[in-house]
């Protein structure tokens, strides 16, 4: 996974454009238009940083190159933020990331696999019957999505 480059917020006022500047103080980033503060966010809040800098670009307050240069972030990351802002608005920066759902182990397959494991079948037998790789079932067992029944101890009394 690529390393995310965080924006660099030096202490004191730093100009983005001749009219737009920002200041880092006590963990807060404050953006100024002239001497008037226009927006504040926490230094660690990357989603809000991307949102406000994209808004500056769209409103014409700064160019994408100005943002990239002032904060030391890549130009492509600024372009992606601007695209997200245009397509989804402010809420696009705070929505949950979309993840792929289960491709092989759907609810129906998990239920069927659990029933067969409960019958006492071996993992490889269940995998063969359901046309699923044995490693896929083993991974689901390790993750706790499936469980193998505990083996009953046989009595050795005569």
Query: How do the pLDDT tens digits run along the chain, 158 residues long?
Result: 455 554 545 557 899 998 999 999 999 999 998 888 999 999 999 999 999 999 999 999 999 999 999 999 999 999 999 999 999 999 999 998 888 766 788 888 999 999 999 998 999 999 999 999 999 999 999 999 898 877 665 656 65
Q: How many residues does the chain have?
A: 158
Query: How confident is the model at residue 40, as a pLDDT?
Result: 97
Domain ranges of the chain: 12-93, 107-143
Q: Considering only CA atoms, which of 59, 55, 28 is closest in space to residue 44?
A: 28
Query: How confident is the model at residue 107, as a pLDDT?
Result: 86
Q: For residues 99 and 109, give the distance between their C-alpha atoms in angstroms, rounded to a whole number.
A: 20
Ramachandran region, residue 94 (left: φ > 0; alpha: ψ -120 to 50; beta: rest): alpha
Query: How confident is the model at residue 46, as a pLDDT?
Result: 95
Query: How confident is the model at residue 9, as a pLDDT?
Result: 52
DSSP line for 19-56 = SEEEEEETTEEEEEETTEEEEEEETT-HHHHHHHHHHH
Query: How confident is the model at residue 1, as a pLDDT?
Result: 45
Q: Considering only CA atoms, which of 57, 56, 52, 50 is closest in space to residue 40?
A: 52
């Amino acid at each position: 996974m690529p390393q995310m480059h965080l924006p660099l917020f030096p202490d004191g006022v730093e100009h983005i454009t001749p009219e737009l500047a920002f200041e880092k103080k006590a963990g807060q980033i404050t953006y100024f238009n002239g001497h008037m503060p226009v927006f504040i966010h926490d230094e660690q809040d990357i989603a809000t940083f991307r949102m406000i800098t994209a808004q500056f670009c769209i409103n014409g307050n700064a160019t994408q190159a100005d943002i990239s240069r002032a904060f030391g972030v890549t130009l492509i990351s600024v372009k992606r933020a601007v695209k997200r802002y245009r397509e989804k608005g402010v809420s696009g920066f705070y929505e949950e990331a979309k993840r792929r759902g289960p491709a092989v182990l759907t609810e129906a397959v998990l239920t069927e696999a659990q029933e067969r494991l409960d019958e006492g079948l071996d993992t490889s037998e269940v995998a063969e019957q359901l046309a699923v790789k044995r490693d896929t079932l083993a991974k689901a067992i390790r993750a706790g999505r499936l469980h193998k029944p505990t083996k009953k101890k046989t009595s050795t009394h005569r």
